[in-house]
Structure 1
């Protein structure tokens, strides 16, 4: 049976959603014009005033915001409310330049937690569940958002944060945790650890997992579901927009429903900035129509994906976004070819390798090199050099077929790549470009 947290809005007709979006957008643009001088200046440069925005149909007239804008306006330049009205900040985990600091009023937090509650109930959560939150707490949005959503649902919430894997497993078993929330790479690691300790999927109390904050493939999902004996749901969010819960998967596991009463989604051509028709692949752009403290209008996420309004079996009517296939800024250009880590992961998983790998890019004699380092599973581990060379050759061929360029493949012993308790470090780019 499909469960909803706020059924009336989650299953509202498209016309009603558009009406809500239009009313909120008009109000939000006026709020930003009056209270955010940085964005008002951008509007003035584009020759737009709040009077030009009468509905969602006028959204394309507004200027974009980018990560560069957020850094340029750091720390208070995009604040939409006086500091005395703000009750919390969160910050991105970025390591380059200034961190993005996002601000929240209590109203912002309430709406964010509602979005996360929708995600938990879409994954089958109720007030009888034990939600094990192994996302990081602190400045990172993952732990706090899911934690608040779990409270709204009325579930028993275990705020364990990340790290100390054996303690995680003890609490999952002893408390009978039913829903696991963490990054997919950490879920894969927990599954690996459970297996080492002699637990099969039927011995683990979990029934579902809500995994996000990093890219993961369908092959990785299948592997996690098999190891932990769960149904694994995707969740999407950005610190700039609040955090996890901007979009989430339902029982159909066929794209993530965007909470359209709070976020308007567009797909644009990342080069021309032209808005593309539904079903086109391009860069995802979001407008947060009711955020007070940190109002984001036409924020370029850099995530590459598609949107669809095809009817969903779960009954929800909100537009669905496909799992992002990569990022327009994190995309690797190697010897002139666009390469996404998700493409490499697909080849590895299809050939039976676990989800622990690293992509090392370098430049030697003015030529890009691509080295894919991947662990063998304990079952396939061997010291037979000929067998390893044969397997590497097969992966080289598979990657060339997928990417169109040749990669070097290094098969490594199990556990030789450092495990991550947060976001996995998949790409090491050593080029000085």
Structure 2
């Protein structure tokens, strides 16, 4: 079994709790002294740093929200002087101001460490050729994976995103063994390979590390079947550190969290109460080694659950199950909670269409409507009308059963739905509420 840092990855629960307690106490003291927002939050709860004596006291601390970063834009939550910040990144900023994150040199070392663990868990090593097809720039994906790959000692191929034909050409010529990109882009690469006549035997690709957007088990299987690789899930948030907050090992049975750096909790998203082990709820992270932007109980809005059992791979780190959706990305249609990932799962389980879709939500006569545009394959496009109608009815029935609401299914021609080289856009909401 291959580990990057066996001492921490296989540490006993008792030893890990001791490490976490020591680091949590230091972090709480640091933010209280250096970050006015945290000092105010703790004072409002009648707390002092000395009230935190172990990891058991974590639940006493106040939550941190994305809005806190926006309210203190750009550097108000930083815990060190700007002279110690060696790099900044920022979120994509779909609404409101961007959330800005800063790193000391030690933070970058920690980031490289957790990414090196990620790639090792996915079977990469010094002899690997790692193609980074996440975007480089303010987005944390590209540079985060890049430095982790170099820490590992792999040969890093920094292709960034876009220019798909060149990506495939370099993948073939440079002998890429591991690919890092979004899962939707991995499928796009597979599609382009087929169109360009690139044989799978021309490539040395063994595995892919895919993240930055939700994806279902059905989509994983689709990627594995079409690219003939093992597809690993990686989870990250810019605010917590970037990619590398959690990742799968070869067992593909949950994403290991480097608990010596990040402490996870599962809470009820409505009440904020910590839920019993195994419950599904909102995942919350506390960073305990970050210097530039330490975060206390950061509300991710991602829905998941935690598994504390030792993995078959031998790692004892808690495992985070695949994100089921987001509390703030959740769509409410006619009073029903809908996640795009549910639609994706249905389409891929049926398997008679291309894995590209768009949800179009509107409001007519005060009633929400849902149209699901589904791209058909070239072979189905040339099929008879009766066959298309049958597929449409099948999808409609399964969607109704899964979501609990009816939806209009619209089959569209191949290549109609716009491809994405970054995070896939799955929803168009036309409602004025």
In the alignment, structure 1 residue 105 sits paired with structure 2 residue 104? yes
Per the alignment, in what secondary structure is the counterpart of residue 240 of structure 1? coil
Superposed CA deviations along residues 353-408 of structure 1, whole A, max 9, x for unmatched, are 33211111111111111111110122322363332222111111000100110011
Per the alignment, in what secondary structure is the counterpart of residue 241 of structure 1? coil
CA distance in 2, matches of 1:317, 1:422: 33
CA distance in 2, matches of 1:370, 1:65: 34
CA distance in 1, matches of 2:292, 2:230: 36
1:397 alignment partner in structure 2: 397
Structure 1 gap segments, 5+ residues each: none
Single out whichever of 28-37 and 47-56 deviates more from structure 2. 47-56
Per the alignment, in what secondary structure is the counterpart of residue 316 of structure 2? coil
2:369 alignment partner in structure 1: 369
1:220 alignment partner in structure 2: 219
Question: Which structure 2 residues correspond to residues 30-429 of structure 1 after superposition, within 5 A?
Answer: 30-352=29-351, 353-382=353-382, 384-429=384-429
Q: How many residues align?
A: 432
Which structure 1 residue ranges, 4+ long, deviate > 6 Å from structure 2? none
Per the alignment, in what secondary structure is the counterpart of residue 117 of structure 1? helix
Answer yes or no: is the 8 Å Cα contact 2:208–2:230 preserved in 1: yes
Superposed CA deviations along residues 146-184 of structure 1, whole A, max 9, x for unmatched, are 101100110110011000000000100001100000000
Superposed CA deviations along residues 112-137 of structure 1, whole A, max 9, x for unmatched, are 11000000010000100100000000
CA distance in 1, matches of 2:302, 2:57: 23
Single out whichever of 86-95 and 375-384 deviates more from structure 2. 375-384
TM-score, with length taken from structure 2: 0.98
Per the alignment, in what secondary structure is the counterpart of residue 136 of structure 2? coil
Distance 1:204 1:381, change over 3 A: farther
Single out whichever of 207-216 and 65-74 deviates more from structure 2. 65-74
CA distance in 1, matches of 2:238, 2:330: 20
Deviation of the 1:239 alpha carbon: 0.3
Deviation of the 1:336 alpha carbon: 0.5
CA distance in 2, matches of 1:380, 1:20: 57
CA distance in 2, matches of 1:205, 1:411: 35
CA distance in 1, matches of 2:159, 2:367: 46
